[in-house]
Structure 1
Amino acid sequence: MDPLDEAPKDPGAQLPAQTYDETDYEGHRAHTFYVGVHVPLDRRHSHRRHKHHHRNSEVSNSSEEDRPLTPPAQRVQFILGEDVDDGSSETHPLFSEMLELIGDGDEMEWRETARWIKFEEVVEEGGNRWSKPHVATLSLHSLFELRSLVLNGSIILDMEAKTLEEIADLVTDNFISKGTITEEIKDKVKEILLKRIRHQHQCKGHVLHIIRSLTEIGKNHSTSRSGCLPLTRRSSTKKKRKNATPSETVVRTDSSHKRNGSYVSLTVGGDKSEGLTKSTSATSIHRNHSTGDLGSMNGDIVHHNLQFMRKIPPGSEASNILVGEVDFLEKPLAAFLRLNTSAVVGDLTEVPVPTRFIFVLLYPPAMNSGYHEVGRAMATLMSDEVFHEVAYKAKNRNHLLAGIDEFLDAVTVLPPAEWDPAIRIEPPAAIPSQDVRKKPPPEKPPAEIDEEDEEERYREENGLSRTGKLFGGLQNDIKRKLPWYLSDFKDALSLQCVATWIFLYFACLSPIITFGGLLSEATGKNMAAMESLVSGFVCGIVYGFFSGQPLTILGSTGPVLVFETIVYDFCLRIGWDYMSLRFWIGTWISVILFILVATDASASVCYITRFTEENFATLIAFIFIYKSVENVFSIGKRYPINTSGFTNIPSKCYCIPNEIAQQGHPEMDWSHFNRTTCLSYNGTLVGEGCSTSEYVPDVFLMSILLYIGTFLLSVVLKDFKNALFFPAKVRQFVSDFAVIIAIFSMSFLDFKVNIPTPKLEVPKEFKPTLSTRGWVIPPFNGNPIYTALLALLPALLGTILIFMDQQISAVIINRKENKLKKGCGYHLDLFVLAILIEICSLMGLPWFVAATVLSINHVNSLKLESECAAPGEKPQFLGVREQRVTHILIFLTIGLSVFLTPILKHIPMPVLFGVFLYMGVSSLKGLQFFDRILIMFMPPKYQPDYMFLRQVNIIIVILESDHKSL
Structure 2
Amino acid sequence: MESHPLFSEMEELVKEGDELEWKETARWIKFEEDVEEGGNRWSKPHVATLSLHSLFELRSLILNGSVILDMEASSLEQVADNVLDNMVADGALGYDSREKVKDALLRRHRHQHERRNHNNMSRLPLIRSLADIGRNHSSCKSAGNDEGMVKSPSSLSMQRNHSSGDLPMNGDINHKSNVHFMRKIPPGAEASNILVGEVDFLEKTLSAFVRLKTGTLMGDLTEVPVPTRFMFVLLGPPNSNSSFHEIGRAMATLMSDEIFHEVAYRAKKRDHLLAGIDEFLDAVTVLPPGEWDPAIRIEPPAAIPSQDVRKRPNDNNIKEEPDEEEEEQRQREESGLARSGRLFGGLINDLKRKKPWYWSDFKDALAIQCVASWIFLYFACLSPIITFGGLLGEATGKNMAAMESLISGFVCGMGYGFFSGQPLTILGSTGPVLVFETIVFEFCRQVGWNYMSFRFCIGTWITIILVTLVAIDASAFVCYITRFTEENFATLIAFIFIYKAVENVISIGKKYPLNTHPDEVLNYECYCLPSNYSRVPERFNWTLVEKESCQLYNGTLAGGGCDTKVYVPDVFLMSIILFLGTFVISVILKDFKNSLFFPAKVNTKSSIE
Measured against the shorter chain, the TM-score band is 0.3 to 0.5
Higher relative contact order (CA closer than 8 Å, sequence separation 6+): 1
Per the normalisation by structure 2, the TM-score is 0.43
